[in-house]
Structure 1
Amino acid sequence: MKRSTPMDRNIGAKVKFYRERMGLTQKELAARLQVNGCDLSETIVGHIETGHRAVSVFEIDKLAEVLQVDYNALFAQD
């Protein structure tokens, strides 16, 4: 499966980490993304977190905005 983000960056794991740090469920994160113009469902958020779905640059931008982290924090190498 072709991905738009490198696997070694673990973006999905970082999304999960920051989501949990904010005390949000996947459903709550999806709702906040939708309010901000990014139409991701709870299921898609789960797929992103487990690495089963690629993430677009637009989605990463919205995730960073909603999770209140710097865009580069999602790309930082572990």
Structure 2
Amino acid sequence: MNRSTPKERNIGKKVTFYRELLGLSQKDLAAKLQTVNCDMTSEMVWKVEHGRRNLSIFEIDKLTEVLHVDYNALFAQD
């Protein structure tokens, strides 16, 4: 089985894609995450999108909720 690391799956780029699809800025996404008790700032969102910050399972769960996508959308191999 060929497995890839989360970084190779471009999760940050997928977060950017789905955020922009909804017409949200990084600041907007951070604000939406905070409404569901996920304390991420716009700077943290930037770091995620640029592969400079790892996500916790809780944060991934909240991102899928706010971006209206399922886990497969973020973890599917390119």
TM exceeding 0.5:
yes
Which runs of no fewer than 5 residues in structure 1 stay unpaired? none
Q: 2-side partners of 1:72 and 1:6: how far apart?
A: 12
Rg comparison, structure with higher value: 2
What's 2:19 paired with?
19
Large movers: runs of 4+ above 2 Å: none
Q: 2-side partners of 1:25 and 1:6: how far apart?
A: 23
What's 2:43 paired with?
43
Q: Give the number of aligned pairs.
A: 74
Q: 2-side partners of 1:6 and 1:69: how far apart?
A: 17
Deviation at 1:71, TM superposition (A): 1.6
Q: Which aligned pairs between 1:1-78 and structure 2 lie closer than 5 A?
A: 6-78=6-78
Q: Normalization by structure 2: what TM-score?
A: 0.91
| Aligned residues with identical type, % of pairs | 64
> How large is the Cα RMSD of the aligned pairs?
0.9
Which runs of no fewer than 5 residues in structure 2 stay unpaired? none
